[in-house]
Amino acid sequence: LEAVVRAAGETIRPYLTYLPRLVDLLGRLGPYVKDWVRQFYTSLWVSPDHRFIHYAFRGRDYRLFAERARELLHLHPSEIRLHQLCYGNTEPPRRPHDREAPSTELVHPCFTEPFGEGSSRLPCDLTPVARVLNEIMRRTLLPRVGFREGLTRIQLWLLAYLVGQREFDVWDVIVSEMEDTIAEGFKGRRQLPFAHWVCHHLSRSGNRLSEYSMTMMSRTATIFPHYDMRQLTGQGSNRGS
């Protein structure tokens, strides 16, 4: 958080701290084991109501309930599900440009003035705060590696709620992105989303770190980088970038 504040200014702080422990989740970097993550996703099944996820790891089946996941990640529950607002009951994989766009009134604070009905909603039109939030989300809650020239509707929903400091179900965002990943069969642009979070959880499956887990995590060569936060303030600042 402090690195982001130093790069983007003190004004960014309330947007990352209004949801309890969100900043801890976003800032959790670390190693991951690619084979573990693939085991997780190839066996993952998400209950239709998102009440739990089921997966296999090293020959054992596990079921993680949403309540327990929020407890482990120190996230608060909420009745607001952003993917539900954006896509309704669309079956995954959900198409990023389809379904409901947030209202002009809702997204207004995300964009520079003048802004109204029919105004451009491109990354270059975002306010400085919204631009930084968008770059952080592309690396965390909505992992994306392409389509920098525009904003998908789910990105707009997420930005609107963050800028408006509105509560939403963070765990449901994560589960929905996982759901789309397995539905796309690893052909999308998410590239093993939440890999380090998944490995952090798998290494503690069974409520303790096994010798095997500690060895694998210590030997892995794959790790999420510590980003140069100055890049977050510069990304998307040029039109058409």
Confidence category of residue 134, pLDDT binned at 50, 70, 90:
very high
DSSP letter at 223 equals B
Does residue 140 have a pLDDT over 90? no
Rounded to whole angstroms, the Cα distance separating 26 from 29 reads 8
Cβ(124)–Cβ(239) under 8 Å?
yes
Residue 227: per-residue pLDDT: 46
Does residue 224 have a pLDDT over 80? no
Confidence category of residue 209, pLDDT binned at 50, 70, 90:
very low
Mean pLDDT, residues 224-240 = 47
Residue 45: per-residue pLDDT: 96
pLDDT in tens, 35-77: 888 889 999 999 999 999 999 988 889 999 999 999 988 899 9
Instruction: Confirm whether pTM is higher than 0.85.
Output: no
Which comes out higher in pLDDT, residue 58 or 113?
A: 113
DSSP characters over 140-196: TTS--SS-TTS--HHHHHHHHHHHTT----HHHHHHHHHHHHHHHTT-SS-SSTTHH
Phi, psi of 63 (to 5 degrees): -130, 120
Rounded to whole angstroms, the Cα distance separating 147 from 134 reads 13
